[in-house]
Structures are given as structure tokens and as C-alpha cells.
Amino acid sequence: MSPRVGVVLGSGLGAFAEHVEGGVRIPYGEIPAMPSSTAIGHKGELVLGRVSGVEVAVLSGRFHLYEGYSAQQVVSGIRLLYELGVRTVLLTCAAGGLNLEYAEGALVLLSDHINLQGANPLVGPNDERLGPRFPDMTEAYSADLRKLAKRTADDLAITLHEGVYAAVLGPSYETPAEIRFLKHIGADLVGMSTVAETIAANHLGMRVLAIACVTNLAAGLGSGKLVHDDVLAIANRVSGTFLKLVSALVPQLAQS
């Protein structure tokens, strides 16, 4: 099998892996040098199969800095996808919404990011066989793929927003003061993943498309406390729309 497209599934979005046709499932524990995915809502397996007739490699569960992994370990999945032949990757994640135009359950294309995690997976000696010492990040999220995603969403009558993602370390949720700061510096979304993977993928010359599911209003913007079970519940609620969009996107990503 030679997968054309890679998909990384975030919190609560793992149901997509169940719809991979002819899926071969390999637990991360059986893959050399792969960490274990310990976060709730992350199954922790590589799924190889087809979506809409296209060969794909799906990472059902990712790794986070807050689990105690290094930035290099966090991007193990991206580098595995590259070794499998994937050159276009779709990253997905759950995120808190800072932009009040986003309702809970909204899907948002990432147009850019702000890395506030204090870590970068490229720190240390550079392997020139993988990519340059100083990779350009001007267009970390492919503009062409974002246009394609918007057209696909329009055809399906799915609302797809676009915004800037701020990545923080976690695992504690942000304070209201931190949310005010993030809004002030231009963030529309906040989360604890995705950015390290995007950096590693760009270093490898891969094209990146990223879609976030807004699972809650960020601290101080809504009522009540933030609870991870609620994050998973919202992600599960929109899983049908998410599945419909990604299933339509995959063949176009393979052809573009």
C-alpha cells in the first residue's frame, strides 16, 4: 500500500478511523520508536486503508507535550507518514474558540498559528536529508489546499470558518487573562497540539491542511467551567459533518 494522504485525528474525532475501508490497524506499541498515546479520546493506532477510493494513512490519536514527551517525540507520527510516502497531510484538532463568530461545534480552517509552547521539534542537529536548517513558515498551511477545502465545504453546504490557532503547553486550560492576551495578539482559537506537527511537516516539504473543531468557548467567554468530557461530547456531536467533509476532501487532496 502507498498512501497518498495522511490524516491525524484529534480529540473526539477518532470515529473517522472506523470508516476507513479495508482498514489495517496497527497499535502504536507495535511500531518501533512510536510513543504511546495517553490522552483521553486518542485511540493510539495507525490505520491503513481507503477513503473514497484513495489510499490513506490515518493516525488515530496523537502525542502532546503535556504528556511528558519531547517535541521530537510529538512529531513521530508525521515522520512515520512521510516514510510511508505521504506528502499531503490533514491535521485535525479540538480547540477553544476565542472568536465569538464561532459557535460550539464550528469547523475552522487554520490559516496560521502562534507557537506559545516553548518548544520546536527542529531543535538540535539538523538532518539535511529531511529538510533545511531554517525552513520557511510563511505559508505553513497551504493556501491552495485551503481554497480547495472551502470549495468542497461550499459544495456540501457546510460552514467552514478560517482563523489563527494559538498553541499552548497545557494540560491546564487557560485563564481568562491568558485568553484576553491571546485575543489581543491575534488568535482566533487555542489548543495544545498541531503546531509541532505542522512545523515538522513543513520541514519535510509536506503540504499541510488543518481543520479545528471548536468544542468550547475559551475561559471567560462562556458560562461555567471547562471540562474535557464536554470537549469530547461536542466533537462527537459534529462527527457526522466532519466525516462528510473529510471523506469528500481526501480524493481532492490526492489529486491536487
Cis status, amide bond into 171, omega within 30 of 0? yes
Task: Report how far apart, in Å, the C-alpha atoms of 243 and of each of 18, 50, 187, 198, 237 are.
Answer: 10, 14, 26, 22, 11
| DSSP 3-state of 126 | coil
Orientation of helix 228-237 relative to helix 239-255, angle to 10°: 70
Which residue from 123, 165, 224 is spatially nearest to 10, judged by alpha carbons? 165
User: ∠ CA(109), CA(69), CA(15), 5° rounding?
Assistant: 45
Q: Which residues are catalytic?
A: 11, 42, 64, 66-67, 94, 192-193, 216, 228
Q: CB neighbours of 115 closer than 8 A, spacing ≥ 6? A: 167, 195, 199
7 forms beta bridges with: 58, 90
Calculated CA dihedral for residues 188, 71, 36, 48, nearest 10 degrees: 70
Q: Output the nine-digit C-alpha cell for 152.
A: 468542497
